[in-house]
Structure 1
Amino acid sequence: MSANLKPGSQVNTAQNPEKTKVLILGGTGEMGQWFTRFFKERGYEVTVWGKSGKTEVARKLEVPFASDLEEAVPESDIVIVSVPISVTEETIAEIAPKMKAGSLLMDFTSIKVKPVEAMRKFAPSGVEILGTHPMFGPTIPTIRGQTVILVPVKGRSEKWFPVIKELFEEGGAHVEITTAAEHDRLVSVVQGLTHFAYITIGTTIDRLDFDIKKSKKFVSPVYDIMLDFVGRILGQNPYLYALIQMENTGVLEVHEAFIKECEELSRLVRAHDEESFVKKMKAAARKYGDTAHALRKSDKLINSRITEYETILNSVGKVCGFFHIYSGKIHVGTLEKAGLDEIVLTKLVSKGTSLHIKNKFVKLKLENLRMLSESELWKWRKENLEHSTRDISVLIPKGADPVVILNAINTNKQLAACEISDMYKGINLGDHKRTNREYCKENWEDYKGNWGDYKGNWDNYKKFNLIGTKKEREETKRLGVTYRITVFGDCNASSVEADVTSLLCGLGCRIREKNLKQKGKPETERKI
């Protein structure tokens, strides 16, 4: 985009993302890194900056680090502020005036009133602004299914708002549009109350000096899930969560209501006022609305955990694959053991793996893993293992379709592939009625003077005439097909070949003599 683009000029970056320069302030932080990858994967030219000066993060992300903001800001088409809430306004005040006309300024903070007001105040009139709040953390692998809140500003978001909205929606996100004030009011409960309650549970457990590890021996599904969410919040950046509580002015009102309700419920319990407790709980249920829907959703969550664990238990002794959610690595091998918290795999040897890795045991924490689906595992094995190929030549039944037989072979899950490598017709038996004289007459011009060739063909002719019975003659009319099977590298090729051969015989195919003779030869396999 031209540096002298006039306010109101058409923005074409939606069609040409590779020409769009994105600068992420705070790009070396966790969320900044997440969105660096997001924009980079979609063809945008991304540069990052961080106050800590972690250029090694930029190198890891394979993007430039902006060493000079005085130069980087005016050159950028999109500037994203992804810094701590406490310094968001001052960061906006510093960089917004340097932005070029036609560019876009966004903030990714958890509150919106103050950042949007700062962007409106400090960004030049030719610079568009868009408040943005991704409602997920950096541990989420993809934006698909996640919510992103956009806060467009009337008269200041016309060109870029549809571009950014489309970008997120094409990634699979649910985009919610609201005002800054409405955002902060809703988020005071969505984040403010939720985080406050979970953190309070954590601090209460600490105050009680309660043994969480021991309690898991008596765990219920709801308690187990609740503990995971408490741990999830407690394990993240405490400064971020402190600022979410302190910077949104609506949170204090929420705290006050929450504490009053806790005190009231506690009073009812101490007084053994069962009816009042029940009345209060029923009133809350009516306000909540569709509690049956919530029950079904939570049952689904609980059952999915149970189902996943049962699937893993039933896979012990089998080849399985697991995707590590945080490292992005895929581990494939024979599942030796499955416990409540971890699994043990004997890893398969993939292409290019050192020999000392063979039969290596690896322990993996279940909470970090997602089990690969059958199709994902098949794809990994096909792409990463060294396979063996075998050719099986058969005469197929008269009228049979070789492709239908091929499809039947491909149902074998130990095959990486199967294809028809050759097809041929049997000998034309009409020739066997010809006389010696007719044969010589037809071929004499080709073979006179070359008795060796003639004699060889004559021998073939004589052999051909040995096919005497009607059954034998009919056999030679059958279509011959060679099926080339590719056996997964972690399977026994001879055993798989025997299985496929048995299938072919069961379908009425006749194994060619050549194929049978090869059975007695030493096994030679072609690696691919």
Structure 2
Amino acid sequence: MLVGVYGLGRFGAFWADCLSARHTVLGYSRNPKRKTGPSVTRVDEATVLECDVLFLCVAISALEDVLLRIRRRISADSVVIDTCSVKVYPIRLMDSILPPSVSLIGTHPMFGPDSGKSGIDGLPLVFCPVRTPEETAAFWRSEFGNMGLDVRDIGPHDHDREAAYTQGITHFMGRVLDDLRLEPSAIGTLGYHKLLEIIEQTCNDPFQLFLDLQRYNPYTGEMREKLEQSIKKMQEQLGAGSEQSWLDRPISGS
């Protein structure tokens, strides 16, 4: 079985290397400077579209253009698997744009080059079979399990709802904290150093991923509104000007 990876950005190159441990993997990127492991064969676009199975590892915001570009060029009986960090939007696009003969599976590997740098064994992968024979879905469910992944069957809306309050809020807070220009501190607590780790992990990813996570998940707007309400609630509990009230108050006996 020939497995193709379309898009060799930071995640795509990492994922191609993971797949190459069990499959012959061909990789395509518009950028010839993208680096991949030695077990991944770089090919042109036409060649990668001939693969039996095609993993789409492109930005969420670029997916529609890619699907429109390849829909008449992929093999009629191929299996297309997306790896986007949201699921409702890409599954809807694939189902609408790609030919009915093409089998579709939605996935979200809940890890990346940073969290998977020491190996992917035990890490979760969300699995959403869309338009595919049960035997094909069963094969890839089993195959991901054989790679050591913790395969979770979750519907697209359930995934996006939960991801908004896990991955979405993590990336949002990472960018907010990064904007504060926080620095390492010799007296920083363990909790503070964990915050710096969140900044490093989330801001290592392209800013486009952050934008796409917030814009293409139908539940992240609700998450941000609730976050804003919680911040406002904490501010109200502190009281206006509370940080100055004790500074200005005379001390008894002075």
The interval holding the TM-score normalised by the smaller chain is 0.7 to 0.9
> Aligned match of 1:65 in 22, 37, 42?
42
| Contact 2:28–2:48 (CA under 8 A) maintained in structure 1 | no
Aligned mates of 2:170, 2:139 — CA distance in 1: 32
What's the CA shift string for 1:377-404, capped at 9, x where partnerless?
xxxxxxxxxxxxxxxxxxxxxxxxxxxx
Matches within 5 A, 1:19-30: 20-26=1-7, 28-30=8-10
| Contact 1:24–1:47 (CA under 8 A) maintained in structure 2 | yes
Which structure has the bigger radius of gyration?
1
> Aligned match of 1:159 in 114, 120, 135?
135
| Contact 2:27–2:48 (CA under 8 A) maintained in structure 1 | no
- The one-letter code sitting in structure 2 at the alignment partner of 1:85 is I
Aligned mates of 1:149, 1:234 — CA distance in 2: 23
Aligned mates of 1:98, 1:159 — CA distance in 2: 25
Instruction: Give the match for residue 30 of structure 2.
Output: 51
Instruction: Give the match for residue 269 of structure 1.
Output: 238
Is it true that 1:258 corresponds to 2:214 in the alignment?
no
Matches within 5 A, 1:59-458: 60-69=37-46, 71-73=47-49, 75-139=50-114, 140-141=116-117, 142-153=119-130, 155-203=131-179, 205-206=180-181, 212-213=183-184, 216-270=185-239
Mark the CA change 1:232 to 1:39 in structure 2 (over 3 Å): closer, same or farther: closer
- The one-letter code sitting in structure 1 at the alignment partner of 2:151 is V
Offset at 1:32?
1.3
Aligned mates of 1:248, 1:236 — CA distance in 2: 18
What's the CA shift string for 1:41-93, capped at 9, x where partnerless?
11x22111112233x635x5343322242x441x2110111011111122122
Mark the CA change 1:29 to 1:173 in structure 2 (over 3 Å): closer, same or farther: same
| Contact 2:81–2:104 (CA under 8 A) maintained in structure 1 | yes
Is it true that 1:34 corresponds to 2:3 in the alignment?
no
Offset at 1:232?
2.0
| Contact 2:170–2:202 (CA under 8 A) maintained in structure 1 | no
Aligned mates of 1:63, 1:135 — CA distance in 2: 22
Instruction: Give the match for residue 245 of structure 2.
Output: none
Give the gaps of 5 or more residues in structure 2. Answer: 243-254
Mark the CA change 1:57 to 1:217 in structure 2 (over 3 Å): closer, same or farther: closer
Aligned mates of 2:138, 2:20 — CA distance in 1: 19
Q: Give the RMSD, CA atoms, in angstroms.
A: 2.1
- The one-letter code sitting in structure 1 at the alignment partner of 2:18 is F
Q: TM-score, normalised by structure 1?
A: 0.43
What's the CA shift string for 1:225-258, capped at 9, x where partnerless?
2222222222332221122112223211111111
| Contact 2:55–2:80 (CA under 8 A) maintained in structure 1 | yes
| Contact 2:214–2:220 (CA under 8 A) maintained in structure 1 | yes
Instruction: Give the match for residue 246 of structure 2.
Output: none
Aligned mates of 2:233, 2:81 — CA distance in 1: 43
With 91-100 and 139-148 compared, the bigger mean Cα shift is at 91-100
Give the gaps of 5 or more residues in structure 1. Answer: 1-19, 274-528
Aligned mates of 1:157, 1:227 — CA distance in 2: 45
Mark the CA change 1:246 to 1:161 in structure 2 (over 3 Å): closer, same or farther: same
Of all paired residues, the percent bearing the same amino acid is 24
Mark the CA change 1:254 to 1:101 in structure 2 (over 3 Å): closer, same or farther: same
- The one-letter code sitting in structure 2 at the alignment partner of 1:53 is P
| Contact 1:129–1:157 (CA under 8 A) maintained in structure 2 | no
What's the CA shift string for 1:188-236, capped at 9, x where partnerless?
1111112212322222x23xxx5x23xx221222222222222222233
Offset at 1:151?
0.8
| Contact 2:89–2:216 (CA under 8 A) maintained in structure 1 | no
Q: Secondary structure at the match of 2:41?
A: coil
Instruction: Give the match for residue 448 of structure 1.
Output: none
Aligned mates of 2:45, 2:129 — CA distance in 1: 29
Q: Which has the higher contact order (CA 8 A, sep 6+)?
A: 2
Offset at 1:94?
2.1
What's the CA shift string for 1:125-180, capped at 9, x where partnerless?
22210001000011213220111001112x52423211111111112211111111
Aligned mates of 2:141, 2:39 — CA distance in 1: 26
- The one-letter code sitting in structure 2 at the alignment partner of 1:23 is G
